Amino acid sequence: MAIARPAEPYPDPSWWGWGDPGQVPVLPEAVRKLLTEGLGVRAGGARPQSLDDVALPDIRLGPAVLDELGAVVGPAQVSTDPESRIRHSAGKSTPDLLRLRAGDAGTAPDAVLTPASHDEVLGVLGICSDRRVAVVPFGGGTSVVGGLAPEGRAFTGVIALDLRRMNAMLELDEVSRVAVLEAGLRAPQAEALLSQRGYTLGHFPQSFEYATIGGFAAARSSGQASAGYGRFDEMVVSLQVATPAGTLALGRAPKSAAGPDLRQLVLGSEGAFGVITSVGVTVRPLPEARRYEGWRLESFAAGIDVLRALAQDGPRPTVLRLSDEVETALNLAAPGELGSGGEGALAIIGYEGTAAEVKERSAAVARVLEAAGAQLDLDAGEAWARERYRGPYLRDALLDAGALAETLETATFWSRLPALYEAVGSALRDALTARGTPPVVLCHVSHVYSAGASLYFTVGAAQADDPLAQWEAGKAAASDAIAASGGSITHHHGVGVDHRPWYVREVGPLAVGALRAVKAELDPAGIMNPGVLIPRE
């Protein structure tokens, strides 16, 4: 097939919030009442009125280096203007947004480069390695763990390598059902190109509207339909990676016994070893039918038992998630319809496939749920499907109102899940209450496996005078609880800078040493996203 590209470029997200500013909701009266009477929120959050209100560090890279880089990608593809630098200065965590809203873009790169090919990326990395310029690979900018804020002061400068021009579907092997996609292709663009040929990737995380194929691979993303389609790393069959030491071309076959699978070394590496430039992924035929249901269970604990039975013994739906009692009551399964969501725990269950498959699986799952006393709420399932990308916009509205709102996630085995749930919730409540800002803590099971599941927490509180220190205390307490309870510090958000201390504790010093050895081989000058994932010595 001929190389296919999107018909139109994808719009940039808001620089002070999540995505399209026009999608930020007006908070319902019930939520405003909860904020003022329940959480003690008093003042609205500040937001810069324009980019001119944001302070930028001086550019450290000299004209000679910028000209040298421009000779590789083209002078027009090297940007040092304030807007480009601010837009590439941070990800989308609440601390990232709080800093930008306070007018602080201190982590901004000196320049933003937009290469058009793997060879151009190699050329840029060669120059940066020679000149000791730190490089931040930049896809959709949706990192929520400090993955775009490297420790760059020890280098002569920092550049962001924006892959938006590398946005083609290079190959579609319909016999093998494998597509090769460039790393800068946004998820909606990838789905549009695949759907024109009758296929889907089936990967729909909450970041879907802005995240890129390369970002999915670099962070081991997991989509909301993972119960049916699997995690993104399970879809990857090949990778091309540009490193300062040369090219890695990985994946000659779907599976191999030719030594350790080096694809797994790159997946989740967060730009610490090099730049993922293209990804080969398995694709599936577009589903003929889709159906999303809500099921109400007596309690979160009872719902977890049902989810485990479906995950282990089947039948397994395409989408399988469960909100606890607090999240159900606030109706976060449908952020556009906030308010009283009823009692108990709400499960969202979805099916995709042929009409016959959807009918058969939904009937079989219904028998399991009804035996557990669950009640069908079809409207709740359809509302979730309609609103499933709106959650981050609710955070923008809450920050505007003066609330602190953030999320964190973890995963563990089924046997440890109840204790992990209690430990993390208690740690968040105790840490933030001790700072005079008692929170509301919500949770849902977001992804399930035969052996375990992930927990996704949402936290709301009144902003303290120093909201960055406030959240740092809450996040540290939650992370300590995760470590003590046998959970992983992250299930799909990644490590970045924010999770690094607990990641080091989780894998141990020998594993960190092995990663440093790999980095030394592929990135001898240490320029790739320094300090992200792997602590600098």
**pLDDT tens profile 500-516:** 999 999 999 999 999 99
Give the pLDDT confidence score for residue 364 in this predicted structure. Answer: 97
Is residue 360 one of the residues assigned to a domain? Answer: yes
Count, in order, helices (H) and strands (E) of the chain. 19, 18
- Residue-wise DSSP of 278-314: EEEEE-EEPPSEEEEEEEEES-HHHHHHHHHHHHHHS
Give the pLDDT confidence score for residue 9 in this predicted structure. Answer: 83
Give the pLDDT confidence score for residue 334 in this predicted structure. Answer: 59
Distance of CA 242 to the CA centre of its chain: 22
Helix/strand/coil for 498 = coil
Number of domains in the chain: 2
How many CB atoms sit inside 10 A of residue 508's CB? 10
Of all residues in the chain, the percent with pLDDT exceeding 70 is 98
Is residue 38 one of the residues assigned to a domain? Answer: no
Query: Do residues 131 and 482 lie in contact, with contact meaning Cβ atoms separated by under 8 Å?
Result: no
**pLDDT confidence band for 333 (50 / 70 / 90):** low
Is residue 25 one of the residues assigned to a domain? Answer: no
Name the phi and psi angles at 488, rounded to 5.
Answer: -85, 145
Same domain, 199 and 215: yes
Q: What is the CATH number of the domain that holds 263?
A: 3.30.465.10
Which of the listed residues 285, 308, 332 is the one where a domain comes to its end?
285
Is residue 135 one of the residues assigned to a domain? Answer: no
Is residue 47 one of the residues assigned to a domain? Answer: no
Mean pLDDT of 368-387: 94
Of all residues in the chain, the percent with pLDDT exceeding 90 is 91
Same domain, 270 and 214: yes
347: DSSP letter: E
Which of the listed residues 367, 387, 407 is the one where a domain comes to its end?
387
**pLDDT confidence band for 11 (50 / 70 / 90):** confident
The upper half-sphere exposure of residue 162, i.e. CA atoms within 13 Å in the direction of its Cβ, equals 20
Residue 338: is its pLDDT beyond 70?
A: no
446-491 pLDDT tens trace: 999 999 999 999 999 999 999 999 999 999 999 999 999 999 999 9
Same domain, 173 and 281: yes
Same domain, 228 and 325: no
223-248 pLDDT tens trace: 999 999 999 999 999 999 999 999 99
Which of the listed residues 285, 318, 345 is the one where a domain comes to its end?
285
Give the pLDDT confidence score for residue 306 in this predicted structure. Answer: 98
Same domain, 278 and 358: no
Same domain, 277 and 178: yes
Same domain, 183 and 206: yes
Same domain, 215 and 297: no
Residue 367: is its pLDDT beyond 70?
A: yes
Is residue 196 one of the residues assigned to a domain? Answer: yes
The residue among 156, 154, 50, 34 whose CA lies nearest residue 105 is 50
Q: What is the CATH number of the domain that holds 377?
A: 3.30.70.3450
Sign, CA torsion 387/388/393/394: positive
Give the pLDDT confidence score for residue 459 in this predicted structure. Answer: 97
Same domain, 236 and 261: yes
Is residue 369 one of the residues assigned to a domain? Answer: yes
**Pairing, β 133-138 against β 246-250:** unpaired
Q: Which two tokens stand for residue 129?
A: 């390695």
CA angle 279–284–286, rounded 5-degree value: 125
* 183: containing domain: 169-285
Residue 291: is its pLDDT beyond 90?
A: yes
* Average pLDDT in the chain: 95
Same domain, 192 and 264: yes
Same domain, 246 and 331: no
Is residue 95 one of the residues assigned to a domain? Answer: no
Same domain, 210 and 223: yes
Amino acid letter for position 426 = S
Q: Which long-range contacts (CB under 8 A, 24 or more apart) does 336-342 make?
A: 336/25, 336/383, 336/386, 336/387, 336/390, 337/383, 337/387, 338/25, 338/27, 338/28, 338/30, 338/31, 338/394, 339/28, 339/30, 339/31, 340/30, 341/380, 342/296, 342/377
What does the alpha-carbon distance between residue 498 and residue 495 come to, in Å, rounded to a whole number? 7
Residue 531: is its pLDDT beyond 90?
A: yes
Going from the C-alpha of 366 to that of each of 92, 314, 448, the distances in angstroms are 38, 12, 18
Spatial neighbors of 284 by CB under 8 A, at least 6 apart, are: 177, 199, 200, 201, 202, 229
Query: Do residues 217 and 228 lie in contact, with contact meaning Cβ atoms separated by under 8 Å?
Result: no
